[in-house]
Structure 1
Amino acid sequence: MARAKNVAEKKQPLNPKTTKFEFGGFFGALFLSLFLPVFTVFINLQLTPDAKFSTDPFYYLNPCRSAGIWIPYLCWFGGLAVFDIILPGKTMFGTLLRDDTKLKYKINGISNSFLLILILGLRWQITEGAMPELVFLYEHHVELNIISVLFAFYLATYCYLKSFIYIGKEPILALGGNSSNVIYDWFIGRELNPRIGCFDIKLFCELRPGMLLWLLINLSCLHHNYVVVNQFQSVNDALLLINILQGFYIFDGVLNEEGLLTMMDIATDGFGFMLSFGDLTFVPFTFCLQARFLSVNANKLGQNKVIFITSLMALGYYIFHSANKQKSDFKQGKLPNLKSIQTKRGTKLLCDSWWGMSQHINYMGDWLISLSWCLTTWFVTPLTYHYSAYFAILLFHRQKRDEEKCSEKYGDDWVTYQKKVPYKIIPYVY
């Protein structure tokens, strides 16, 4: 029976047509593609209303007129791409694809992070703390936000067109992005793993240009507060804390990038405007909202609040990191004593320890981390809590997507698993 099933599976087309639509299909994809870019600019303007930017809608579309913004951004993106290719790292394989192959990935987050820290340290010494690059980033924050939206649009369009133009082997398309609806497939992502030679566009965008730009934006806010506002005399404790907490999170993600190879974004989602915009705009220009607010608002926390917020972050990180590590170790056969369900597909569903408490216990840890960041602004403004609210919706949506896919994949075994682990994210609550 198992052999007959495998033969039947192999007879299926490599790139089946998409029949199930997410985000409301065509109209949902169109709405999000228009609304989210406007929202990112709007919310940044609400927190820093004196930001510099041109109100001429054609200014940024003309690279000759806006070269002073386009060139620095392209140098940032292109420079990181070159470093990603030439810097040393270890080779790892991704998940098994539908054509029974695995893609090679170069994992070099350590060397990239070390180089960035070295450059920042040297620039601080050479400029005696002036750091003109951080000043530029702070002063042109909204303009760079707009440029990143346009670049994400161009990159998504390039990847969409590239999926139709190939020589030899047909590219593997994302199961959710092959509907023949141009707007929807462009938004979701048609090709699963768009590459230029050995350069993987999706993995690069997940951790390099957006995540590291988020770090630099936070540092630009800290620099502005310390150098410009307080004249090298003091720094806002809340602003310093958000830089430390988010800086730790960013470097932890970059240094442990191999964990992405099995995650939904890399393993199953195509690379379209949804991920392009999310990686290049939404992450750096909305996750930094706490730092942007604190750079111009003297909100001091004090020792007790700092300890509370740091403890909440530590708790969230402990749950998130230890749960993910436990699942990774289990998949590698390092934890054979943990209880699991043997599925008809030959794989096992872990239902013990962390993963006996809820189906996505790591999501709960990740959300607690997001809440700790928002609390650095305490309750002065609701705008900075946007991230935690958005993240809750994102995690809920991901849980629903994962549940639907696992139900189709495992059938009756998934029903048995849900009886053993009934809670989705928060134990005894949801």
Structure 2
Amino acid sequence: MSARVSRRRTIMELPMESTDSKGKSPKKSPSRKSPSRKSPGRKSPAKKSPARKPPARKSPARKSPSRKKTVAKKLVEDTAPVMEDEVEEIEVITRTLRPRAHVAPSFPTVNLQFRDDTSSTSSRRLSGENENEDRKSLSREPTPALLMTRIAREVTPAKSFSREVSQARSSPSTSFTSPREFGGLIGVIMTIPLMPLAVLTAHIGLIHAWNEKKLADWLPWLWLQIDPVGVASYIAFCVAQLLLSALPIGRLVDGLPDKYGRWRYRCNGIIAVALTAISFGTAWAMKWNSLFVKLSSPSGFISLLIGAILWGLLISVCLIIKAINCPVSSLNPAAITRSKVYNFFIGRQLSPRMGGIFDFKFGLYRISIMTMISLNTLLLLGQISRGADIHSLSYPFLACVTLQYLYALDLLWFEDQFATTFTAMSEGGGYLFSMSSALYPFVPTLITRYLSQNRVEYPAYCLCGVAIIFFFGYIIYRGSNAQKNEFRKNPMNPSLAHLEVIPTTRGKKLLVTGWWGWLRHPNYLGDIIINWSWVLTCGFHSLLPFAAPLFTMLALMYRAHRDGTRCHQRYNAAWDRYCARVPYRVIPGVY
């Protein structure tokens, strides 16, 4: 580094040491002094003591002063004379030069495409080439063009982090992904209103509104059915459950490592169930039977559904506002497009969190499960409040409520596995996730609402068959999820040593044996079987309850398609080999 600075100083001194045509040295500028006069203890190379011989030339980086002076004089003769202001400008610029390790790195380009880690390799290769060029340039004599090339490449104005983030977002050269999922922008525009309307239409169909009202009259009728008490009750319940998920009680579980370290999830779902059950028992003891009857009625249930839709919209808007000033590293790679509507739908931020208190996606996941339990409890207490005895209730209704209780309690018991799910790892915090979590509890409760309004009787052996189908799907669902969770958290677990894997260029491994060697998404198959077992309790008297498992099956099958597309873009050849080994996504022999 010292040799490099000395050569720059030699070039700046040349115009002051060059001789005129008569062989005399020109007069020094009074405004500037030579470096030798500034530090009397340090002599210029031209006045070096003859007693000290120049060292032998061992490397191109160290040359004798006489050689420097000779080549520098030849340089001055061959090039145009350098003016005093140019020398002053070069000297000022060279003062700002610093070692390469201290130069502030430029803001990294955001790699928005799902591909292998070639961008980091290219950047390392490029930096290595620049360093090699610097080493080669040390062996050559410094010329004005070479000096200015170094200045242009190395000297970059320092920018603050916020300015770099804004420039990376607004730069026209930044690569954006095109809206691909859900049919692109047109499909997203159609899906946004279709999601709540589909669930709302199914629940309105249970009260035969489509047969009694014309299509032009159902909107005013629906407005009259909305009860502010039901809407406010649902939103208050969601806020309470969100606060319960942030209470410092329960066990802390480490999630998967990300760019910010490991997020610790507060798993107190069972405690939340106990507190919710106490609140329902207190309301029952206080003789609030009229509230249960009102909320479990058709108009009350529609009001709760309207409150869920408003809650989903509110959370979606809050999350998109929160993502405005979020770091670039926390953005969702699938939602960095030029379309504001698409980014709002998919979710601009991958893992929206509020400080170290709670994770929004984990909180909404908890609310969805607790709402499913509470709605079934509300329907059960509503039936009892109307004068029905627990023994007079139909067995299919009790069986369906019990099976849904078991499913929800299992999700809360194993909620520590949420960190390894597709929702936590790949789903953005946007309208899609917020509205899905708000509407999902009303999909399986469509079946229990039908059974509460229509008495269905079946022999006991038929219900035993339904239970067998349920537990068959549960074994697939829980076994595959447990294997995936353990493999993602600790791939070196001795209990998984017998499993065959395919390595990827990203350092991860793909399971090709066990549950995940049978199907690419066996947990989705188990979930679909569970949902179809619930609807079998309704029989075949009406096709409307079958809309519930149909919604779930279509959503999971398309999620499998989305996950497969992303994995193919992320793992490339490794994913192709995995697909060759495991050809079916969800349903063996079909899809």
CA RMSD, Structure 1 to Structure 2 (Å):
2.9
Counterpart of 1:316 (choices 462, 473, 486) is 473
Q: Which has the higher contact order (CA 8 A, sep 6+)?
A: 1
Q: Please give the secondary structure, in 1, of the residue aligned with 2:418.
A: helix
The secondary structure found in structure 2 opposite 1:193 is: coil
2:365 partner letter: E
| 2:372 paired residue number | 214
CA gap 1:318/1:403 in 2 versus in 1, 3 angstroms: same
- Specify whether residues 361 and 377 from structure 1 end up closer, same or farther in structure 2 by C-alpha distance, changes over 3 A only: same
How far off its partner does 1:85 sit?
1.5
Matching of residue 119 in structure 1 with residue 252 in structure 2: no
Decide which of 347, 351, 357 is 2:512's aligned counterpart. Answer: 351
Instruction: After TM superposition, list the pairs within 5 Å mapping 1:375-394 onto structure 2.
Output: 375-394=536-555
Matched, 1:418 2:576: no
**1:275-294 per-position Cα deviation (integer Å, ceiling 9, x unaligned):** 111111x2122221111111
Q: How far is the alpha carbon of 1:131 from its aligned partner?
A: 4.2
> Which of 489, 494, 503 pairs up with 1:342?
503
Q: In the TM superposition, what is the alpha-carbon distance from 1:17 to its structure 2 partner?
A: 3.0
Distance (whole Å) between structure 2 residues aligned to residue 57 and residue 404 of structure 1:
40
Q: 1:163 maps to which residue?
A: 323
Partner of 1:287: 444
**Paired residue for 2:415?**
257
In structure 2, what is the Cα distance between the partners aligned to 1:286 and 1:239?
16
Residue 262 of structure 2 aligns with which residue?
102
Q: So what's the TM-score if we normalise by structure 1?
A: 0.88
Q: Is the 8 A contact 2:336 2:343 kept in 1?
A: yes
**Aligned partners of 2:117, 2:573: CA distance in 1, in Å?**
19
- Give the one of 335, 351, 354 matched to 1:196: 354
Q: Deviations over 1:338-391 (max 9, x none)?
A: 222233332221111222212112221111101101111011111111122122
**Distance in 1 between residues matched to 2:219 and 2:370, nearest whole Å:** 25
Deviation for aligned residue 1:263: 1.4
Q: Distance in 2 between matches of 1:396 and 1:376?
A: 24
Shift of the 232–59 alpha-carbon distance from structure 1 to 2, 3 Å rule, reads closer
**Secondary structure of 2:520 counterpart:** coil
- Rounded to whole Å, the distance in 2 between the matches of 1:170 and 1:156 is 20
Secondary structure, aligned partner of 1:103: strand
Supply the distance in 1 between the matched residues of 2:385 and 2:230 (Cα, whole angstroms).
23
Which amino acid in 2 is paired with 1:120? F
Q: Distance in 1 between matches of 2:221 and 2:206?
A: 21
**Number of matched residues?**
416
Could you tell me how far 1:8 is from its partner in structure 2? 4.5
Separation in structure 2 between the aligned mates of residue 121 and residue 57 of structure 1, nearest angstrom: 32
Give the direction of change, closer, same or farther, for the CA distance of 1:411–1:56 in structure 2 (3 Å limit). Answer: same
Larger Rg: 2
Alpha-carbon displacement from aligned partner over 1:282-331 (angstroms, at most 9, x marks no partner): 21222211111111111012201110100000000011111221222334
* Matched-pair contact (CA < 8 Å) for 1:224–1:295: no
Whole-angstrom CA distance in 2 between matches of 1:26 and 1:265: 22
SS at match of 1:94: strand
Does the Cα contact within 8 Å between 2:473 and 2:529 map onto a contact in 1? yes
How does 1:241-256 map onto structure 2 within 5 Å? 241-256=399-414
1:303 matched to 2:460? The reply is: yes
1:406 corresponds to 2:567: yes
Partner of 1:184: 342
Alignment-mate amino acid for residue 239 of structure 2: G
- Aligned equivalent of 1:88: 249
2: CA distance between counterparts of 1:172 and 1:400?
24
Could you tell me whether the CA contact under 8 Å between 2:346 and 2:431 is conserved in 1? Answer: yes
Moved more, 132-141 or 290-299: 132-141
Distance of 2:232 and 2:123 partners within structure 1: 49
Question: What is the CA distance between 1:248 and its match in structure 2?
Answer: 0.7
2:220 match = 55
Report SS of the residue matched to 2:266.
strand
Does the residue aligned with 1:426 lie in a helix, a strand or coil? Answer: coil
Answer yes or no: is the 8 Å Cα contact 1:374–1:388 preserved in 2.
Answer: yes
Displacement of 1:424: 2.0
User: Once the two structures are superposed, what CA deviation does each residue of 1:379-408 show, in whole Å capped at 9, x if it has no partner?
Assistant: 111111112212221222121112112212
Unaligned runs of 5+ in 2: 1-115, 127-164, 170-174, 211-217
Cα deviation for residue 50 of structure 1 reads 7.6
Distance 1:117 1:231, change over 3 A: closer
CA–CA distance in structure 1, aligned partners of residues 295 and 442 of structure 2:
12
Query: Contact conserved, 1:207 with 1:253, CA < 8 A, in 2?
Result: no
1:152 paired residue among 300, 312, 323: 312
Quote how far apart the aligned CAs of 1:112 are.
Answer: 1.3
For structure 1, the 5+ residue unaligned runs are: none
Are 1:221 and 1:292, in contact at CA under 8 Å, matched by a contact in 2? yes
One-letter amino acid matched to 1:95: L
User: What's the CA shift for 1:247?
Assistant: 0.7
Partner of 1:44: 203
Distance 1:239 1:73 in 2: 24
Structure 1 position 48, deviation (Å):
2.6
Cα distance change, pair 301–88 in 1 and its aligned pair in 2 (3 A): same
Of 477, 487, 498, the residue aligned with 1:330 is 487
